[in-house]
Structure 1
């Protein structure tokens, strides 16, 4: 009898094992990984530019790795923060995978980095299924995208530890229904917090930085109920973080394990 092998599930299982190993190794050297996931045009890079600058201004060593299909535009913008930045061109791949992240960090991530921001490719479908070894996963959405976005992309919002609403300065102009959006987020990910931001006015940026720093200090994160619920409608693969693989990663040891306090 022939046995049908689900190749995609096998690929995801391998990715989860690598992500687990990466998370353990980075945690051991005192580095928290924060991933940002959104559709194109959400304002993710503009917001990250401010968050990165404010994180370093608070005395917390930070770095950023940004992924895109082409161009180094995002890295150029983020580098204005003064923090170490690396651009990853995926060559057409619509998401980052743990093996890619691991390879790009080796020999680059500065010793003593406390926060590594990873900006995934602009896409709310493929990236949602891939654990990158993050401690904090943030899914972003702009007010221009429609209040039903969480219902359309349940994996992206259902596995988020934090949801960030962007471009709130134009919410009234686009007739954004905030209450409907919050209800939809809660249906997909009960209990998750929503931080409202505007990169243009600075609204909510400091609150977002503080949420990140709370995790750096050892604070817990929201654990999505969906992570333990298995597959959802439409065959979308969702999964919880897997136990770590013991394979070591060759990163330099941190110079000082103390967490800078703002």
Structure 2
């Protein structure tokens, strides 16, 4: 049985994303959509990133979780404005959810807006949030199978941050294999080694953000 779809099922989302993109361009706000599986270290990395950027940039964060404001509270404690979105079971953020948070920010006063998506390697990759850049975080404890098993996520991101590299001596993870797998799926993507805990590699990540801001 063949089903023909006459309308784009993501039309409403894409319309909201187009609206957001226009707003971000007008306000000259750099927007980065961070995606990963749960526990990969998105919030810890954001805390350190905020510390590194706070003297030069005004930063806002949209936090996506199924429930609680735990991560948003951590971001506020790090010194950035944060707005929480609780999806109440939804596995991703969509552009309409993000659009509803915008009145909580004065975009003219936000240089960089991070969207910390719901922890999931499947659903978030398919939804445009009006962002300029999509960045995926993969952590060493997750193992080498995640890139080939979840190709859509890694095909749609331009940068992969390999987090928790301080654990490489203790776990069976091969960085060269990860690079090879990523290039096989997305030749234009780049893998960057970091440790949000120790700070190793964070300088390169911060430099990437600064360059993205200058070319936004």
Larger relative strand fraction: 2
Q: Paired residue for 1:161?
A: 158
Per-residue deviation, 1:53: 2.1
- Give structure 2 stretches of 5+ with no counterpart: none
Q: Deviations over 1:77-120 (max 9, x none)?
A: 11122111111111111100001101111243453211000000
| CA spacing shift, 1:122–1:109, aligned 2, 3 Å | farther
| Structure 1 residues 13-39: Cα deviation after superposition (integer angstroms, max 9, x where no partner) | 321222122112211111011010000
Question: Aligned-pair RMSD on alpha carbons?
Answer: 1.7
Whether contact under 8 Å (2:122, 2:150) holds in the other structure is yes
Return the structure number with greater helix share.
2
- Where do residues 85-234 of structure 1 align in structure 2 (5 Å cutoff)? 85-218=82-215
Is the contact between residue 63 and residue 109 of structure 1 (CA under 8 Å) also seen in structure 2?
A: no
With over 3 angstroms needed to count, the CA separation of the structure-2 counterparts of 1:210 and 1:14, relative to structure 1, is: same
Q: Which residue of 2 aligns with 1:233?
A: none
Q: Specify the structure having the higher radius of gyration (Cα).
A: 1
Q: Once the 2 structures are TM-superposed, how far is the Cα of residue 171 of structure 1 from its aligned partner?
A: 1.0
Compute the displacement of 1:4 (Å). 4.8
TM-score, scaled relative to structure 2: 0.94
Which of the residues 39, 42, 45 maps onto 1:44? 42
Partner SS, residue 194 of structure 1: strand
Residue number in structure 2 paired with 1:17: 15
CA contact (8 A) 2:83 2:104 kept: no
Point out 4+ residue stretches in structure 1 off by more than 4 angstroms.
none
Post-superposition offset of 1:71:
1.3
Contact 1:139 1:162 in 2 (8 A): yes
* 107 and 41 in structure 1: CA distance in 2 versus 1, 3 angstrom threshold: closer
